[in-house]
Chains A and B, each alone.
Chain A
Amino acid sequence: MDVVLKNIVKTYNKGKVKAVSDVSFSVEKGELFGLIGPDGAGKTTIFRILATLLLPDEGTASVNGHDAVNDYKEIRKRIGYMPGKFSLYQDLSVEENLNFFATLFNTSIEENYELIRDIYTQIEPFKTRRAGKLSGGMKQKLALCCALIRSPSLLLLDEPTTGVDTVSRKEFWEMLKGLKEQHITILVSTPYMDEATLCDRIALIQDGEILSINSPRKIINQFPDQLYAVKSQKMSRLLADLRQSSTISSCNSFGEYHHITLHQGNTFEMQKKLINEMEHLGHTQIEIKSIAPTIEDCFIKLMS
């Protein structure tokens, strides 16, 4: 086990604000573990506790067997930490930033070039540019390089893809897959549910509590009901009407469809009844189809 958290509790403002309550999970060596949850769920707090930057109120956390409170110096030698906020020197160039962080960890760019090669080649054309003048995606790549250059055994990435365009996000996850092959344990957090399936295992977190920990596939398989996607001409009115309907047990808006689950019973009959009901209310071009749930469906289900 590379990372072990046991019953971590952390509050702010002298106990008034609860950030994390009773969180336990562990990450295995070489695993790509995702912490999935909305803003304010407590992800950053967990990262900071693991990075030895915050002391937990209760519970224990350890990295590579080193306690996050007592052995913090050992942990600081081993981990690569990328905070959620871009935290490199804006007035230093790409190369200077990388050099600085390499030296800070008693190494050099040359020594660990292999580790960052795939990522660094993408930003190398801009190596004399000041970090503050890079685009969002490139900043994150540089930050990842700076976290990697020390050859860490654990990589803590706090929302690395937040505020980054879709293409760069995809590239970033490709890079993480590449790093997994180098047997680096990665703990990553993200508010984007669609990124969850790219992890080996995920923990769904909400209001400082963990809702579920499993592989994305198993979490999806655990979804108890059959899920349907419904569409009509007037989507916003449809959502309200569906929620009024006696046949529906849950209904949520998901882009161009509404995802619904039905009450127990003959599904075919229920569907027919629903369509009738909606047509009666004046909806036209009603489309209903059964679909496989996504992580987001699971998250909403677990939240309720």
Chain B
Amino acid sequence: MKQFITFVRKEFYHVFRDQKTLLLLFGMPVAQIILFGFALTNEIKNSKVLICDHARDAATQNILQRFEASPSFNIEKNILNHKGIEQEFKKGKIRLAVIFPANFQNDLNHFNKAQVQLIADASDPNTATTLTNYASSILMDYQKELQEGQAQFMSIKTDVRMIYNPELKGTTNFVPGVIALVLLLVCVLMTSISIVKEKETGTMELLLVSPFNPILVVLSKAVPYFFLSLINLTVILILSTTLMDMPIKGSIFLLYFASSLLILTALSLGLLISNSTDSQQAAMLISLMGMLIPTMMLTGFMFPLENMPLALQYISNLVPSKWYYTITKSVMIKGMGIEAIWKELLVLTVMTLVLLTISIKKFKIRLA
């Protein structure tokens, strides 16, 4: 045990004395979060909005004026049927359609209840959500004003429909994706490089010619990166909750638990790569090509998996971050508990065990 602690301490020395790498380790997640953050918080101005006012009464006129006053919207008034609206969407002429049914004010006055339909083009999910949110808030404002001095409760029900990408899967939930990306990069790249480095400098020869169990050599390398990754995770979470208003609805503990599991998967993968290569360059290339690209492409946070060819969808099952992405989304955004994600956790556990077994089996106790 004392040996193990000394070994881990040595690994920490290596990490902290290599300041360039350290900067990269902590700079990368911050840079990525901010980059993706800007991509997300693009302000929306002058979006074309179609308003179909079948009612043409005082209430709808009032609301219309409010829409026209907003800098976000560029209003076009036209009465179209459902097919006509779809045509407009398909031509890309409008991003949002607001439809007032006939008898809007009547309904509001007599039944205290009226409906408005919002249809948004969700092929760009960011814009779609933002626009429907703006529109809804205008309607809410109007409802509040009506409410003042009235005993009876009045409500305008907004019926939001997202077309083309109804579940809004994709870029909106980039934070879980970035977490997966950063954790995988740090763990796979750093562990594989640090072990291969020992081979390159010849220190592995000395470590092998010792009573120390070679498996522990490998495991002790993983310890510093495990902790560094947890720090990274914390930084990302803090940044995304403060800067990007990302919610963490579920249990933080569960989130950290799942992340630790992904880190272990990544570390095992790093070990496997380092056992199969002899130079730092090779390890780096394999880690980058083998990790970065599949993680970006096949996790689902950049490109929705549902739209991919079936073959790629099957392959994506082999990408650990795909499962982790589902977990974090469920925990962070939907606030679900372990009962919703136990399957994904199980998949990650099996992946880790398989990778770890292979890499320990492949560990060379000799030079050639």
A residues contacting the other copy or chain, number (CB 8 A): 32
Q: Is the CB of A104 within 8 A of B202?
A: no
Segment of B2-10, B24-32, B34-42 in the binding face:
B2-10
B-binding residues in A (CB < 8 A): 12, 48, 51-55, 72-73, 76-77, 79, 81, 83, 85-92, 96, 99-101, 103-106, 146, 150
Q: Is the CB of B210 within 8 A of A87?
A: no
Q: Is the CB of B205 within 8 A of A53?
A: yes
Residues of B within 8 A of A54 (CB): 366-368
Q: Is the CB of B210 within 8 A of A89?
A: no
Q: Is the CB of B2 within 8 A of A91?
A: no
Interface residues in B104-122 (C-beta closer than 8 Å to A): none
Residues of B within 8 A of A73 (CB): 211
B18 CB within 8 Å of chain A: yes
Q: Is the CB of B209 within 8 A of A96?
A: no
Q: Mark B102-143, 1 if CB is under 8 A from A, else 0.
A: 000000000000000000000000000000000000000000
Q: Tell me the number of A-to-B contacts counted with CB atoms below 8 Å.
A: 74
Q: Contacts A76-B208, A76-B209, A87-B202; is A92 near B10 (CB within 8 Å)?
A: yes
Residues of B within 8 A of A106 (CB): 3, 211
Residue of chain A at shortest CB distance from B17: A91
Q: Contacts A76-B210, A91-B18, A106-B3; is A53 near B10 (CB within 8 Å)?
A: no
Q: Is the CB of B366 within 8 A of A91?
A: no
Residue of chain B at shortest CB distance from A53: B367
**What are 12 A-B contacts defined by CB distance under 8 Å?**
A52-B366, A55-B366, A73-B211, A79-B209, A87-B203, A89-B14, A91-B14, A96-B13, A99-B6, A100-B7, A104-B7, A150-B210
Q: Is the CB of A104 within 8 A of B210?
A: yes
Complex-state Cα separation, A118 to B203, whole angstroms = 25
Q: Is the CB of B3 within 8 A of A52?
A: no
Cβ of B14 to closest chain A Cβ, rounded Å? 6
Q: Contacts A52-B366, A54-B366; is A87 near B211 (CB within 8 Å)?
A: no
Residues of A within 8 A of B366 (CB): 52-55
B315 CB within 8 Å of chain A: no
Q: Is the CB of B13 within 8 A of A92?
A: yes
Residues of B within 8 A of A103 (CB): 2-3, 6
Q: Is the CB of A104 within 8 A of B207?
A: yes
Interface centre among B3, B14, B205 (most CB of A within 10 A): B205
Residues of A within 8 A of B14 (CB): 89, 91
Q: Is the CB of B6 within 8 A of A100?
A: yes
Q: Is the CB of B206 within 8 A of A81?
A: yes
Residues of A within 8 A of B367 (CB): 48, 53-54
Residues of B within 8 A of A91 (CB): 13-14, 17-18
Complex-state Cα separation, A176 to B14, whole angstroms = 32
Q: Which of A77, A81, A83, A89 contacts B10 (CB 8 A)?
A: A89
Residues of A within 8 A of B3 (CB): 103-104, 106
Residues of B within 8 A of A99 (CB): 6
Q: Which of A52, A83, A96 contacts B206 (CB 8 A)?
A: A83
Q: Is the CB of B13 within 8 A of A104?
A: no
B46 CB within 8 Å of chain A: no
Residue of chain A at shortest CB distance from B4: A103
Q: Is the CB of A76 within 8 A of B2?
A: no
Q: Is the CB of A53 within 8 A of B208?
A: yes
Residues of B within 8 A of A87 (CB): 201-203, 205-206
Residues of B within 8 A of A86 (CB): 202
Complex-state Cα separation, A83 to B210, whole angstroms = 13
B342 CB within 8 Å of chain A: no
Interface centre among B3, B211, B365, B368 (most CB of A within 10 A): B211
Residue of chain A at shortest CB distance from B2: A103
Q: Which of A51, A76, A92 contacts B211 (CB 8 A)?
A: A76
B257 CB within 8 Å of chain A: no
**What would 6 more interface pairs be, CB under 8 Å, given A53-B205, A55-B366, A83-B206?**
A52-B366, A73-B211, A81-B205, A83-B205, A88-B203, A103-B6
Q: Is the CB of A100 within 8 A of B10?
A: yes
Return the 5 tightest CB-CB contacts between A and B, nearest first.
A87-B202, A103-B6, A81-B209, A53-B367, A77-B211
Cβ of B221 to closest chain A Cβ, rounded Å? 13
Complex-state Cα separation, A90 to B118, whole angstroms = 65
Residues of B within 8 A of A55 (CB): 366
Complex-state Cα separation, A52 to B210, whole angstroms = 11
Residues of A within 8 A of B164 (CB): none
Residues of B within 8 A of A104 (CB): 3, 6-7, 207, 210-212
Q: Which of B17, B202, B211 contacts A83 (CB 8 A)?
A: B202
Residues of B within 8 A of A85 (CB): 202
Cβ of B12 to closest chain A Cβ, rounded Å? 11
Interface centre among A12, A86, A91, A101 (most CB of B within 10 A): A91
Cβ of B19 to closest chain A Cβ, rounded Å? 11
Residues of A within 8 A of B10 (CB): 89, 92, 96, 100
Complex-state Cα separation, A103 to B9, whole angstroms = 12
Complex-state Cα separation, A99 to B3, whole angstroms = 11
Complex-state Cα separation, A83 to B13, whole angstroms = 23
Residues of B within 8 A of A89 (CB): 10, 14, 201, 203
Complex-state Cα separation, A92 to B11, whole angstroms = 10
Cβ of A31 to closest chain B Cβ, rounded Å? 21
Residues of A within 8 A of B207 (CB): 104
